[in-house]
């Protein structure tokens, strides 16, 4: 997809300081959108500067920061057309060792925050009768893997939220979809390798081959730019036919 299909549109992308979120912010800006880069990391300021966007720093596990993100966006641009709920993090450990505070934080960041941000942005989208909410779920929103109780639970829940919001948004021109990638080549995935090796008792060099790629038909990692391209498509006019979908980018994980 090329051109300026999103000229005049305002997009909010969470977790946009690096990885998939950064690529999404860059891609939407290239399509002409005015992009709000949201992240807990101050590194988001440089991303916003590079794409001509606006940076809002905050912790999406905090309700007040979710409210601030939408309020500041509305104060600056008067509306929101696109919301990409991308922020997230990983923790790998067996259930009996899974820290309760990390569970709480994972649910807050990857399930509660998308609900709150969608809720707060909803009136503007409803009034203008056009909106695109894109939730970055995961292949682990559709299938499970050991030692990822918090992540798998949050991502499964995010698909449920997606489907419910799609039913409510349809009459108002709001589409809501979840993208479910397999492993993407990001700093977040790279940081998992040592954790996976530790919990499974295998060498780090075997993690990508035997854990991350073994279930896939196509043996490679997904690039962040490929996810960003899919997001841009869903925001384009042809992408308007999709809503309530959990869209797999899984290299064949679920073909079995």
Domain membership flag for residue 216? no
In sequence order, what DSSP letters do the residues of 66-110 get, joined into one string?
HHHHHHHHHHHHS---EEEE---------GGG--HHHHHHHHIII
Q: Stretch 139-168: mean pLDDT, rounded?
A: 96
220's CB contacts (< 8 A; 6+ apart) are 213, 251
Domain membership flag for residue 232? yes
Q: Supply the pLDDT for residue 1.
A: 55
Domain membership flag for residue 108? yes
The pLDDT mean for the chain works out to 94
- For position 109, which CATH number holds? 3.40.50.720
Confirm whether 151 is a catalytic residue. yes
| Domain count for the chain | 1
Domain membership flag for residue 204? no
Range of the domain at 108: 10-183+223-246
Domain membership flag for residue 89? yes
Domain membership flag for residue 200? no
Question: Three-state DSSP class for 217?
Answer: coil
Residues 158-181: tens digit of each pLDDT: 999 999 999 999 999 999 999 999
Given the residues 120, 151, 183, 233, select the one marked as catalytic.
151
CA–CA separation, 234 and 134 (whole Å) = 8
Domain membership flag for residue 211? no
101's CB contacts (< 8 A; 6+ apart) are none
DSSP-derived letter for residue 242 is -
Domain membership flag for residue 113? yes
The backbone torsions φ and ψ at residue 133, rounded to the nearest 5 degrees and listed phi first, read -110, 125
Q: What radius of gyration do the chain's Cα atoms show?
A: 17
Residues 179-222: tens digit of each pLDDT: 999 989 887 777 777 777 777 788 877 887 877 888 899 998 89
């Amino acid at each position: 997809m090329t051109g300026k299909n999103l000229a005049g549109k305002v997009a909010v992308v969470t977790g946009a300081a690096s990885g998939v979120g950064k690529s999404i912010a860059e891609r939407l800006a290239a399509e002409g959108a005015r992009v709000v880069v949201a992240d807990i990391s101050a590194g988001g300021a440089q991303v916003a500067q590079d794409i001509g966007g606006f940076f809002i720093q905050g912790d999406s596990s905090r309700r007040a920061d979710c409210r601030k993100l939408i309020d500041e966006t509305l104060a600056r641009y008067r509306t929101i057309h696109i919301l990409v709920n991308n922020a997230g993090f990983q923790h790998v450990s067996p259930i009996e060792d899974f820290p309760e505070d990390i569970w709480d934080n994972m649910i807050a960041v990857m399930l509660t925050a998308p609900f709150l941000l969608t809720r707060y942005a909803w009136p503007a989208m409803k009034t203008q009768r056009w909106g695109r909410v894109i939730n970055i779920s995961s292949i682990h929103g559709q299938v499970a893997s050991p030692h990822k109780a918090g992540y798998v639970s949050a991502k499964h829940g995010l698909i449920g939220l997606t489907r419910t919001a799609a039913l409510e948004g349809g009459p108002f021109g709001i589409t809501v979809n979840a993208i479910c990638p397999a492993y993407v080549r990001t700093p977040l995935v790279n940081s998992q390798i040592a954790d996976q090796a530790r919990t499974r008792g295998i060498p780090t060099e075997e993690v990508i081959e035997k854990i991350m790629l073994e279930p896939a038909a196509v043996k490679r990692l997904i690039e962040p730019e490929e996810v960003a391209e899919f997001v841009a498509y869903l925001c384009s006019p042809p992408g308007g036919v999709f809503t309530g979908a959990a869209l797999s980018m899984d290299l064949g994980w679920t073909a079995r």
